């Protein structure tokens, strides 16, 4: 009996190991955050980081360094929120991720004054029950208010972008 209990403890220790390894002492929000590649990058030794960067063209390596620096210097609350959104996004199936990326890239190309309008519509639709969302997107008002490209962006982001 004692032997069985001891063996069970060993097994449980192995099971809990990965969760332990992923605990982040800085975690503050309700969502438990898993390390993303930037976290792992930050934990690498400087020598290893430089070795990886050396494999890329110098300009590209320089850009990556700068971007990581900007990310690390973000306001902690802002960074936390972003990490949570990214984590939810990265758990989606790859094809859904790709749709979202495509639409977010297109969103970026919209005229500046259109972006908050489109953004607002997406946020509104995401809060609606499905039937209501469909009614709204099929309405004349919606079609008249947004260009075909904007409609597609709104449709896909409200469907797939994680909350």
Contact positions vs other proteins (CB under 8 A):
8-18, 20-21, 25, 36-38, 40-41, 43-45, 48, 52-53, 55-56, 60-61, 64, 67-68, 70-71, 81-82, 85-86, 89-90, 94, 97, 100-101, 104-105, 107-108, 112-113, 115-116, 118-120, 123, 157, 161
CB of 131 to other proteins, least distance (A): 25
CA 91 – CA 136 distance, rounded (Å): 28
In angstroms, rounded to a whole number, what is the distance separating the alpha carbons of residues 152 and 157?
Answer: 8
When the beta carbons of 105 and 143 are compared against other proteins, the nearer one is 105
Smallest distance from other proteins to CB 101, Å? 6
Q: How far is CA 126 from the centre of its chain?
A: 17
| Minimum CB–partner distance for residue 122 and other proteins (Å) | 8
The number of residues in the chain equals 163
Q: How far apart are CA 34 and CA 104, in angstroms?
A: 24
Instruction: List the structure tokens of 69.
Output: 């620096």
* The three-state (H, E, C) secondary structure of 105-142, written as one string: HHHHHCCCCCHHHHHHHHHHHHHCCHHHHHHHHCCHHH
In terms of CB distance, is 102 or 135 closer to other proteins?
A: 102
| Distance of closest approach, residue 108 Cβ to other proteins, in angstroms | 5
Closest contact distance (angstroms) between CB of 30 and other proteins is: 18
Short-list 100, 90, 104, CA closest to 160:
100
Residue 77 or 135: the one with the smaller Cβ distance to other proteins is 77
């Amino acid at each position: 009996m004692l032997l069985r209990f001891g063996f069970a403890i060993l097994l449980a220790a192995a099971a809990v190991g990965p969760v332990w390894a992923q605990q982040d002492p800085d975690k503050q929000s309700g969502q438990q955050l898993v390390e993303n590649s930037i976290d792992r990058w930050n934990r690498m030794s400087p020598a290893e980081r430089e070795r990886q960067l050396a494999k890329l063209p110098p300009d590209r390596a320089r850009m990556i360094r700068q971007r990581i620096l900007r990310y690390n210097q973000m306001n902690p609350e802002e960074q936390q929120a972003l990490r949570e959104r990214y984590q939810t996004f990265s758990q989606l199936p790859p094809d859904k991720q790709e749709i979202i990326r495509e639409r977010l890239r297109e969103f970026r190309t919209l005229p500046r004054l259109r972006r908050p309008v489109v953004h607002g519509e997406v946020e509104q639709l995401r809060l609606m029950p499905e039937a209501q969302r469909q009614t709204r997107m099929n309405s004349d008002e919606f079609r008249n208010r947004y260009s075909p490209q904007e409609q597609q962006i709104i449709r896909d982001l409200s469907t797939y972008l994680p909350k």
